Every structure is written in structure tokens, then in C-alpha cells.
């Protein structure tokens, strides 16, 4: 009886893991081999869905894959680069000023997703009530239709900036852990500000930096809700990465079978990344 | 062993079990006939789709049927409505009666989710009613030779034009009337473009044309305008009519190049689109249907005037069919009552929807929504005659062209919209757009024929 | 030293330039909400609570929109509260077992949790929809509560486990000697010791449920079961005339509780997030 006690404690956890991780993962494989539609009934069609994807029979899949890469690297650059710059700057400023900036840059994290999306929709609204158009008008420039001109840039910015608070917080903490003597010694040796950052600080925070990169790679590969809300992936697939395409195929066209085949690719990619970097993701266990 | 702990776990398991079992209670099979119906707007305007069913249920009760009737009216969009119906059907809790647009009928019919009504419609008792419906409407609600619904409304797609702008261009009321009369020789697409250019040049409007955003029926209208075909009569397969599509694409590209159509319509806000129409910032609003006349009276799209009056609309806005290659085209989309295959009472369900589509109730529906009536005798009712606008709607319904029928129509509509948004924003050439249509249709629509 | 000071000032200015657009986004959100009508110039030409009155009164009639904001607020609280309670229970139980008890398969569970922590649950959305259908849970609050809990619980369990790890063994042993049962030990002695951890988990879970969009958007079809997130999104995507002043007001109304909770729990959260992610 005593041996069973731990499992009673674990039961609810295991139940939810079973229902929301294991069964769905297995079901995805099953659904991807059917032509399931709106009524959640489907006939087995074998590898047809995969053939459709890999043979590039689907004329937009190529574009979608390119978008995925552009979006991933764009958003990563902003999240990691922005986080690094802000962490360094606020750390160097220190005290209340640094804290103030960090507080403001924490706002996106505390903003619910729909509000965050709304801020961007409103900022780039093509009508005269859009924020950017308002500014443009006030300085005498012409109003523009931002959403159809730069859809990809807008969604990269919206997602990339959203990652900054997290990277900034973690990197600041990591910078705080660097012994001051190391930096001082470098300065005495005549290293400039940039050199200390590049040669001393970055190697010392290499570990959290790589962790954050993997973490956000997984996130940007698979999240789509901000793009769904801000541009809807358009115009003409200009801002549709694979994750959004999967969602749209499944829940807007109700092609759950094909959607699952697309999702399976993302699942496999994620699992590969996770296993390849399991050590890195599990830093906490080592410490 | 610890009792409390076991108690907690037991409650947890019970809760989990409760979740699984949270189905629906079985209907008590008594003498009371209980019927459920699901109806949809979308939007609050066409609530008479539900009210007419309620009135019909009262009538049936008066005839001695022990009826327990319940109807829901959804003001949401079609997508969640269709999903919740499909899933309710799959889990055995579907309603008995469903109101739907004609475009879903092929899909539901193929899945066997709705009943063919021919055995009821072809009786002598119903003959008189059957013949009273406008020609072509029964065909709109049928699939593979069987009829699946009773048409209760025709969404009449049409062009709205600004009379005030045309007057400022020096046209008299009489001239305007003549130009936009479907019988007139002058009523061609070229003429509309010419007028739009003139109005734009004179600085009277910001744009000549505006159309809707998103994947809507307008994309069929414009293909129809160029004589496009959608479905192969012989095989029932979908057709991609590349000739008509190319003309359609070229037309929109020309409009954008000439500055007559905004290049970013796809990202416009709906309220702005309507604002442009009601404030006369565009000469032609070509993405709408007759029912918007009602919307302009009920919602504050006009920045200064707010809700518009019937008089203002009559004075400043007119409606016309689309000019097509072989004469005017008025694409009409039918909304119908259908009977769900899982119903226990198909006979009573039919009695109910037959009564809910009486001329009197349909007239009430047309008057409150400004959408097209489906029966000839509606036009003779005094209440209907009193509405000047509705007789105009009826007039352009003389040029009705039924919407195409195919389960993959939604996919096709989305494709045209996507290609068009690519063309209008300059991301796609006409050739590339046609190629895209071909390739995507081949991949997404089984059995498609490329013409 | 003078150079260092100048450096700091330049740095501060650069930082300010980077930060201002973000700050103004939020400032203009407030301006828009208190101007009572859509802001057309950079500063409101009037101060009016019109939009706030609109929000708490009868909502403007529009297609598919509810008549009042209060039922939606109720739904949102229900979902967020449900996620919070379920999460606390699950993480409190499991975190304790993983930290303190010995059982077969512990190593496997630990490494699976590690993998799951990084696994983006959203890519299983299609299959989750399918599973929820078979559980007859689609279009119920349970669907969102359970799915969101599943999303939050890995991190939560990890955090609570960390807190339990820091509780000295002696305290527990003294409990055992006193003859307390396992459950009493857990509930009366252990749980109070990890209160800060539970607090952080509760707040994270509540915020998670409160701000969820995609699950509600995908699993719920009835407007009567909307939460604030889907309500706001529907207003944005709506066909009717909704003004930016009103949208800004709804946004602020929706965002305030999360901001306050973040403020309230900032320390615990940072510790939790950092502890859960990396040290």
C-alpha cells in the first residue's frame, strides 16, 4: 500500500499528461493519414497528405516554408539581439534608471496576447485613425497602408519584441552573476566597452544565451496566434509561416487530415531540437 | 490507509468521470413532440428566420399538434455555427431543423446529414405552394437531383451607385435612371468604368469602386460577370474557367492601376468600407447585397449623419445588377430551412417549415431584412407593395443567376480572394495568379477540370 | 570618471530612444480610452469617460456581440479561476511526490517533464480538438480549463518541486515521528512551507487562463461562453463600427488585472520563472 502512495500524488498530473500530450501526439499521427473534415470523420488515405506536402503539389507550401525561415530568424534576431542590448544597457546604467527601463520593457510580457495584437493592429491601421498614420500626418507625410506593404516585418517585430522581456530578465540576471573583478581587470588591460561586451561578457553568459535561443526557436517555429490576429497571414501568404498554415488548413478550411500532416512536421522538428539540446534545456538539473 | 486522501482522489476521479459523461439527457419519448431548430443571422438583422418558425409552431399547435418547440438564433459567423452543428450531429444532439445558406447543402447532403424533401414537395397538397416559388430557387437547394430545403430568402447581390455624385457630374435623374436600367444598352461594364474615371478625375470621389474584404460571394459575382463557369453539368465536377478568371484578374488590376480601386482593400476595416459607401467617397459599392439598405438605416456608418433615413438612401443611392457578357446578372444566394437526418419527426418538421415559409411570413421576413423574397405571391401582399425599395429588388431579381453548387466552393472562393489580394497589392502578376489558381485547384479540389 | 558619466548619459539617451515607442504605445492607449472618441491627433482634445460608460452599460448592438460585458467577465474569471485551482492541486501534489517520495520511474518522469517543458503544446491543437470531442467537452469551459492547465502544469510542477527541495528533511521527519498520516503531513506541514511557490504558481496559472486566446477561440463556439480575449478579438475583427477609443477601453479593462497581478507577485514570479528555466 505504501508503495502506491506516490502514484496517488502523481495521478492527476499523469492523467492530464496522458490526455493532452500522449493521446494527442498519437492521434496526430492517425489523423494525418485520414481525410478528416468538419464532422471529425475520416477515411484512411495512407500517405496522400504527406505526398501532397512533399511533392510541392500544394503551390503555396514552398512560399510558406520560406516564410517560416524568414520569420524564425527575424524574430530570433530581435528577441536575442534586443534582449542582449537591453540587458547590457540597463545593467550598465544600474540602479533606479536601469530598473525603470526594465519595468517598461516588462510590459509586453504582462499584456494579454489579444491586447498585444490589438496594439499592433492599431499602430499600423491603414486608415487615418492608425497610430503611425497619425504621426505621419502630423509631420506632413502621406498616410500609408502599412499592413499590406510590410506584413512580414510587422509580425516579426510584434513577436520579436514580445520575447525581449524574457531574454532581458534572464540575461540581466546572468550579467549580474559575472564577478566584477573580471570586467575590471579587462578594463585595466585597456579593453573598450565593446570589447568587454564581446570578448568577456558574452562568453561568460554563453550558456543562458544558447538556452534562450533554443527556447525561442521552438516558440517561433510553433506559435501563430499573433500572426493570425494581426495580418491573418496575408496578403497572399506574405506572412504565413508553417504553424499558421497548419492552423488555417485545420480550423479555417476544416481539413484536419492535411493539417495534422503539416503539424506532424512541426512536432518532429520540435522533438529533434529538444532532444538535440536536452542537456542545455535541463541546465537547472545540473546546478 | 488515509481515508481523507482516498476521499480527495475519489472526488477527483468522479469529477473526471463526470466530464466524460457530460453528454445530453435522453429525450423522454412521450406524446409530446419536441422539436429543436437552429437558425443563424449572421448578425442580428434576419431574426425573422427564427421568429417565423416560432409563428409556424404556434399555428401547428392551433391545429392540434402537441408540440414543444425550441429555436436558437445565432448572430455569429457561419464557421462556428457550422462547426457546432456538425459536432452536435456527430454526438447525437443535433436539432431537427436547420437554417442554412445554399452553399453548404452539397456538403451536408453528401454526408447524409440532411434529408431530401422530394417526397413531401411532390405531393398534390404542396403542389400549389411549390409552383409559387420563383424559378430557379428549388434548383439552388438541390444536389444530385434531390431537393434538400425550402428557400426562404434570396440574398440579392447587386451594385450600389451614388446618385448624388452622378448628378454632380451633370447627369439628370432621368439619365441616371436610364443608364442603370438593366434593359438599357448603355448598362455595360465599360460604361461603369468610364463613369468612375470621370468622377475620380473631377475629384468627386476618392475611388470609383470598392469591394468587400475576405472570402465572400463577391468573388463569384465578378467571375460570373465575365461569363465564368463553375461546375460541369455532366460530371458535377468543379471547373476552373481560366479565361474568365484571367479577365476578372485583369479587370481588378486595371482598376487598381487607374486608381479607381484601393490597392489594399483586403486589409480595410469593414466599418471603413461601409463608410465609403454611405458617405459617397466611392461611386460604386460592388461587394454587397440588397440587405445592406437595412444596415445603413440601423448602424452609424456615416460620420456626420449617423443612421441614414429611407429618404436619404432613396435620394442618393440606387441599386443595379452586375453587367455581364450576355446581359445583366444578379447573383442570388438562397437561404433555406432544411430537415436534419437524425430527426425523429420528419413529417411534423416538414409541416413546420412549410408553414414557416408561407407568403405572409416570408413577406414579414423580406420587409424586416430588405432581402429578396422567394415566392411570387409575396409581391402581391399590400405590406410588401408599400416598400418602394423592395419592388426595386424584385425587379433586379428578374436577372437572377443561381450561385454555383459544389462542396469545394468555399475552398474555391478563398483561392480567388487570395489570388486577388495578391494582384491588387502588386505581389502577383495576372499570369502568376492564373497559374496559382490552376495549381492550387489541382491540389485542393478533387476531380477539378481546368478549362 | 567623467568619461564614464558621459558614457552613461549617452547610453541612457539611446535606451530612451529605444524605449519611447513602446512606452508611447501604452500611453496612447490610455489617451484613446479617455478621449471618448477615436483619437485623431496625437493628444486628446477632450477628456471624456464616454467609452468607459459604454463598456459598463449596454454594449453597442453589433452582429454576434453580447449585450453586456459582465457575463463575459464572469466567464473569464471562471476559466482563470478553474485553471488556477486545478493547477495548484496538481502541482502541489506532484511537486511533492517528485521532490520527496521514492517511486519507480522517477527518473523517466523527470526527463519527460524536462522534454515537455520545452515542448510547444500548441502544435497538438488539432488532435487535442479531436480528443476533446470524444470526451464531449468541446464548447464547454472544461475544454479550455483542462487544456490550459495542461499547458501550465509542467512549469508549475517544476517550480513547486524546487521549493520542496529547499525544505529541510528534518521538518518532515519530525512529522513522521509525530505519527501524522501522509496526507496530513502533506497538507498541514509541507504545503504551508512552500506557500511562496504556490503563490507564484497560482498567479501564473490565473494569468494564463485569463489571457488565453487560442483555446477559447478554437474550442468554444457559443458567444455566451466567450471570455474577454475572444470578445476583444471579435470587436477588432467585427464588421460593425467599433471605434478605437472603445477598443482601447476594453483593452485596458482586460489588461489591468494581469498588470496588477504581475506587480503583486513580481518577486515570486521572477524567482519562479528563473528557477523554472535556468539558474
Q: Is the CB of residue B161 less than 8 Å from the CB of residue B180?
A: yes
B372: β partners:
B154
Cell triple for residue B362?
416570408
In a domain, A118, yes or no: yes
In a domain, A30, yes or no: no
Closest CA to A35 of A279, A254, A258, A189: A258
DSSP B159: E
B130-154: average pLDDT: 90
C25 touches chain A (CB under 8 A): yes
Residue A164 has pLDDT above 70, yes or no: yes
Residue B22 has pLDDT above 50, yes or no: no
Residue A127 has pLDDT above 80, yes or no: no
Residue B336 has pLDDT above 90, yes or no: yes
What are the Cα distances from residue C99, in Å, to C112, C161, C176, C209? 15, 5, 17, 26
Which residues of chain C make contact with B84, given a CB cutoff of 8 A? 139, 221-222
Quickly list DSSP for C147-214: HHHHHHHHHHHHHHHHHHHTS-HHHHHHHHHTT--HHHIIIIIIHHHTHHHHHHHHHHHHHHHHH--H
C1 touches chain A (CB under 8 A): no
- Highest averaged pLDDT of the listed ranges B24-33, B71-80, C59-68: B71-80
Residue B24 has pLDDT above 50, yes or no: no
Give the strand pairing for B322-324 and B449-450.
Answer: unpaired
What are the Cα distances from residue B325, in Å, to B72, B187, B196, B220, B328? 42, 11, 19, 15, 8
Closest CA to C66 of C181, C217, C231, C194: C231
CB atoms closer than 10 angstroms to residue C260 = 11
Q: Where does the pLDDT of residue A130 fall: very low under 50, low under 70, confident under 90, or very high at 90 and above?
A: confident
- Between B1, B5, B439, which is nearest A59 by CB? B439
CA distance A267 to A248: 17
Tell me how close the Cα of B443 comes to any Cα of chain A, in angstroms.
6
Which residues of chain B make contact with C242, given a CB cutoff of 8 A? 271
Give pLDDT tens digits for B151-195. Answer: 999 889 999 999 999 999 999 998 898 889 888 888 899 999 999
Q: Which range (A163-177, A180-194, B235-249, B382-396) has the least confidence?
A: A180-194
C20-27: average pLDDT: 91
Ranges in chain C annotated CATH 1.10.3720.10: 70-277
Give pLDDT tens digits for C81-140. Answer: 999 999 999 999 999 999 988 888 888 898 888 888 888 888 999 999 999 998 989 889
Give pLDDT tens digits for C155-179. Answer: 899 889 988 888 888 877 777 766 6
Interface test with A, best of B15, B253, B267 (most A CBs within 10 A): B267
Residue B126 has pLDDT above 60, yes or no: yes
CA distance B57 to B392: 32
In a domain, A22, yes or no: no
Complete domains list, chain B, with CATH:
33-155+332-402 (3.40.190.10), 156-331+405-450 (3.40.190.10)
Q: Tell me whether residue A225 is exposed, middle or buried, using C-beta atoms within 10 angstroms of its C-beta: 0 to 12, 13 to 18, 19 or more.
A: buried
Structural domain count, chain A: 1
CA distance A197 to A216: 22
- Bond preceding residue B329 cis, omega within 30 of 0: no
Cell triple for residue C87?
493547477
Q: Where does the pLDDT of residue A206 fall: very low under 50, low under 70, confident under 90, or very high at 90 and above?
A: confident
Tally A–C CB contacts below 8 A: 250
In a domain, A173, yes or no: yes
- Bond preceding residue B311 cis, omega within 30 of 0: no
- The whole domain housing A153 covers 65-251
B297-310: average pLDDT: 86
pLDDT for B245: 94
DSSP B114: B
Residue C240 has pLDDT above 80, yes or no: no
The domain that contains A199 carries what CATH number? 1.10.3720.10
Residue B279 has pLDDT above 60, yes or no: yes
Residues 6+ apart with CB under 8 A from B394: B372, B373, B379
pLDDT for A4: 83
Tell me how close the Cα of A57 comes to any Cα of chain C, in angstroms.
23
pLDDT for C239: 59
In a domain, A102, yes or no: yes
pLDDT for B283: 95
In a domain, A286, yes or no: no
Residue C275 has pLDDT above 60, yes or no: no
Q: Is the CB of residue B381 less than 8 Å from the CB of residue B363?
A: yes
In a domain, A285, yes or no: no
B209: β partners:
B284
Residue C279 has pLDDT above 70, yes or no: no
Taking the whole predicted model, whether its pTM rises above 0.80 is answered as yes
DSSP B49: H
Q: What percent of chain C lies above the pLDDT cut of 90?
A: 39
**Averaged pLDDT score across all residues of chain B:** 87
In a domain, A85, yes or no: yes
Task: Kindly identify which residue of chain A lies nearest to residue B10, measuring between CA atoms.
Answer: A8
Interface test with C, best of B2, B85, B306 (most C CBs within 10 A): B2
Give the strand pairing for B67-74 and B33-40.
Answer: parallel
**Averaged pLDDT score across all residues of chain A:** 88
CATH class of the C70-277 domain in this structure? mainly alpha
Q: Is the CB of residue A7 less than 8 Å from the CB of residue C103?
A: yes
**For C62, phi and psi rounded to 5 degrees?**
-150, 160
Cβ contact (<8 Å) for A113 and C229? yes
pLDDT for B115: 95
pLDDT for A112: 94
Amino acid at each position: 500500500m505504501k508503495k502506491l502512495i506516490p502514484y496517488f500524488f502523481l495521478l492527476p498530473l499523469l492523467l492530464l499528461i496522458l490526455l493532452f500530450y500522449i493521446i494527442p501526439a498519437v492521434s496526430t499521427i492517425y489523423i494525418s493519414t485520414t481525410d478528416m473534415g468538419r464532422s471529425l470523420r475520416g477515411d484512411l488515405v495512407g500517405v496522400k497528405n504527406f505526398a501532397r506536402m512533399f511533392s510541392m503539389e500544394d503551390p503555396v507550401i514552398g512560399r510558406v516554408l520560406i516564410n517560416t525561415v524568414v520569420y524564425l530568424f527575424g524574430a530570433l534576431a530581435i528577441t536575442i539581439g534586443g534582449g542582449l542590448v537591453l540587458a547590457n544597457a540597463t545593467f550598465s546604467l544600474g540602479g533606479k534608471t536601469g530598473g525603470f527601463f526594465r519595468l517598461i520593457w516588462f510590459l509586453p510580457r504582462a499584456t494579454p496576447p489579444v491586447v498585444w495584437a490589438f496594439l499592433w493592429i492599431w499602430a499600423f491601421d491603414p486608415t487615418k485613425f492608425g497610430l503611425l498614420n497619425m504621426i505621419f500626418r502630423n509631420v506632413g507625410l502621406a498616410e500609408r497602408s502599412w499592413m499590406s506593404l510590410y506584413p512580414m516585418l510587422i509580425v516579426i517585430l510584434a513577436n520579436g519584441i514580445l520575447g525581449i522581456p524574457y531574454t532581458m530578465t534572464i540575461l540581466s540576471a546572468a550579467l549580474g552573476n559575472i564577478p566584477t573583478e573580471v570586467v575590471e581587470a579587462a578594463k585595466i588591460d585597456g579593453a573598450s566597452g565593446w570589447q568587454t561586451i564581446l570578448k568577456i561578457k558574452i562568453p561568460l553568459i554563453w550558456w543562458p544565451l544558447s538556452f534562450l535561443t533554443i527556447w525561442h526557436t521552438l516558440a517561433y517555429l510553433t506559435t501563430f496566434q499573433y500572426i493570425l490576429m494581426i495580418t491573418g497571414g496575408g496578403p497572399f501568404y506574405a506572412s504565413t509561416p508553417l504553424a499558421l498554415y497548419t492552423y488555417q488548413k485545420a480550423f479555417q478550411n476544416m481539413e484536419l487530415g492535411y493539417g495534422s500532416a503539416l503539424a506532424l512536421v512541426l512536432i518532429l522538428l520540435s522533438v529533434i531540437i529538444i532532444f538535440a539540446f536536452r542537456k542545455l534545456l535541463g541546465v537547472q538539473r545540473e546546478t | 490507509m488515509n481515508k481523507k486522501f482516498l476521499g480527495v482522489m475519489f472526488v477527483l476521479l468522479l469529477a473526471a468521470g463526470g466530464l466524460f459523461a457530460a453528454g445530453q439527457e435522453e429525450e423522454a419519448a412521450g406524446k409530446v413532440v419536441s422539436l429543436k431548430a437552429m437558425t443563424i443571422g449572421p448578425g442580428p438583422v434576419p431574426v425573422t428566420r427564427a421568429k417565423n418558425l416560432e409563428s409556424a409552431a404556434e399555428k401547428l399547435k392551433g391545429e392540434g399538434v402537441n408540440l414543444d418547440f425550441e429555436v436558437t438564433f445565432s448572430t455569429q459567423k457561419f464557421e462556428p455555427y457550422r462547426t457546432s452543428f456538425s459536432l452536435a450531429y456527430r454526438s447525437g444532439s443535433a436539432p431537427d431543423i436547420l437554417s442554412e445558406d445554399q452553399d453548404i447543402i452539397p456538403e451536408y447532403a453528401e454526408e447524409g446529414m440532411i434529408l431530401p424533401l422530394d417526397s413531401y414537395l411532390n405531393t398534390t397538397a404542396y403542389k400549389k405552394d411549390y409552383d409559387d416559388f420563383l424559378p430557379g430557387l428549388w434548383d439552388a437547394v438541390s444536389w444530385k437531383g434531390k431537393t434538400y430545403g425550402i428557400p426562404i430568402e434570396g440574398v440579392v447581390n447587386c451594385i450600389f451607385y451614388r446618385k448624388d455624385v452622378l448628378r454632380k457630374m451633370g447627369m439628370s435623374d432621368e439619365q441616371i435612371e436610364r443608364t442603370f436600367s438593366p434593359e438599357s444598352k448603355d448598362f455595360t461594364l465599360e460604361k461603369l468604368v468610364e463613369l468612375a474615371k470621370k468622377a475620380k478625375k473631377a475629384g468627386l470621389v476618392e475611388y470609383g469602386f470598392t469591394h468587400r474584404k475576405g472570402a465572400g460571394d463577391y468573388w463569384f459575382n465578378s467571375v460570373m460577370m465575365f461569363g465564368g463557369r463553375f461546375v460541369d453539368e455532366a460530371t458535377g465536377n468543379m471547373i476552373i474557367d481560366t479565361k474568365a478568371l484571367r479577365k476578372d484578374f485583369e479587370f481588378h488590376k486595371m482598376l487598381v492601376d487607374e486608381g479607381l480601386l484601393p490597392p489594399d482593400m483586403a486589409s480595410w476595416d469593414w466599418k471603413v468600407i461601409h463608410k465609403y459607401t454611405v458617405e459617397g467617397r466611392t461611386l460604386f459599392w460592388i461587394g454587397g447585397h440588397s440587405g445592406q439598405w437595412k444596415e445603413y438605416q440601423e448602424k452609424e456608418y456615416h460620420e456626420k449623419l449617423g443612421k441614414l433615413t429611407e429618404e436619404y438612401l432613396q435620394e442618393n443611392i440606387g441599386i443595379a445588377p452586375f453587367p455581364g457578357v450576355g446581359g445583366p446578372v444578379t447573383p442570388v444566394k438562397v437561404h433555406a430551412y432544411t430537415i436534419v437526418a437524425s430527426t425523429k419527426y420528419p413529417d411534423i418538421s416538414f409541416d413546420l417549415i412549410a408553414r414557416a415559409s408561407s407568403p405572409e411570413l416570408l413577406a414579414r421576413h423580406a420587409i424586416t431584412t430588405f432581402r429578396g423574397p422567394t415566392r411570387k405571391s409575396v409581391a402581391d401582399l399590400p405590406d410588401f407593395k408599400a416598400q418602394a425599395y423592395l419592388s426595386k429588388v424584385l425587379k433586379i431579381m428578374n436577372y437572377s443567376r443561381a450561385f454555383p453548387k459544389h462542396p469545394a466552393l468555399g475552398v474555391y472562393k478563398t483561392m480567388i480572394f487570395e489570388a486577388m489580394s495578391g494582384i491588387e497589392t502588386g505581389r502577383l502578376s495576372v499570369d502568376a495568379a492564373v497559374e496559382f489558381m490552376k495549381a492550387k485547384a489541382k491540389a485542393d479540389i478533387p476531380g477539378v477540370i481546368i478549362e | 570618471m567623467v568619461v564614464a558619466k558621459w558614457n552613461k548619459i549617452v547610453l541612457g539617451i539611446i535606451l530612451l530612444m529605444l524605449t519611447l515607442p513602446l512606452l508611447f504605445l501604452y500611453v496612447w492607449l490610455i489617451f484613446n480610452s479617455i478621449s471618448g472618441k477615436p483619437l485623431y491627433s496625437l493628444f486628446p482634445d477632450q477628456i471624456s469617460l464616454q467609452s468607459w460608460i459604454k463598456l459598463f452599460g449596454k454594449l453597442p448592438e453589433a452582429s454576434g456581440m453580447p449585450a453586456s460585458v459582465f457575463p463575459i467577465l464572469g466567464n473569464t474569471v471562471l476559466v482563470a479561476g478553474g485553471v488556477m485551482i486545478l493547477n495548484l492541486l496538481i502541482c502541489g501534489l506532484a511537486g511533492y511526490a517528485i521532490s520527496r517520495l521514492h517511486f519507480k520511474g522517477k527518473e523517466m518522469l523527470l526527463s519527460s517533464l524536462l522534454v515537455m517543458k520545452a515542448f510547444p503544446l500548441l502544435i497538438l491543437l488539432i488532435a487535442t480538438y479531436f480528443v476533446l470531442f470524444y470526451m464531449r467537452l468541446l464548447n464547454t469551459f472544461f475544454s479550455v480549463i483542462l487544456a490550459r492547465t495542461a499547458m501550465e502544469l509542467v512549469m508549475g510542477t517544476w517550480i513547486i518541486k524546487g521549493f520542496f527541495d529547499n525544505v529541510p528533511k528534518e521538518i518532515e521527519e519530525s512529522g513522521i515521528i509525530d505519527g501524522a498520516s501522509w496526507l496530513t503531513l502533506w497538507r498541514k506541514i509541507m504545503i504551508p512551507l512552500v506557500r511562496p511557490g504556490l503563490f507564484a504558481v497560482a498567479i501564473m496559472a490565473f494569468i494564463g487562463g485569463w489571457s488565453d486566446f487560442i483555446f477559447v477561440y478554437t474550442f468554444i463556439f457559443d458567444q455566451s461562453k466567450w471570455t474577454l480575449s475572444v470578445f476583444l478579438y471579435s470587436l477588432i475583427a467585427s464588421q460593425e463600427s467599433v471605434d478605437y477609443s472603445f477598443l482601447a477601453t476594453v483593452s485596458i479593462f482586460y489588461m489591468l488585472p494581469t498588470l496588477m497581478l504581475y506587480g503583486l507577485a513580481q518577486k515570486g514570479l521572477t524567482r519562479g520563472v528563473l528557477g523554472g528555466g535556468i539558474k
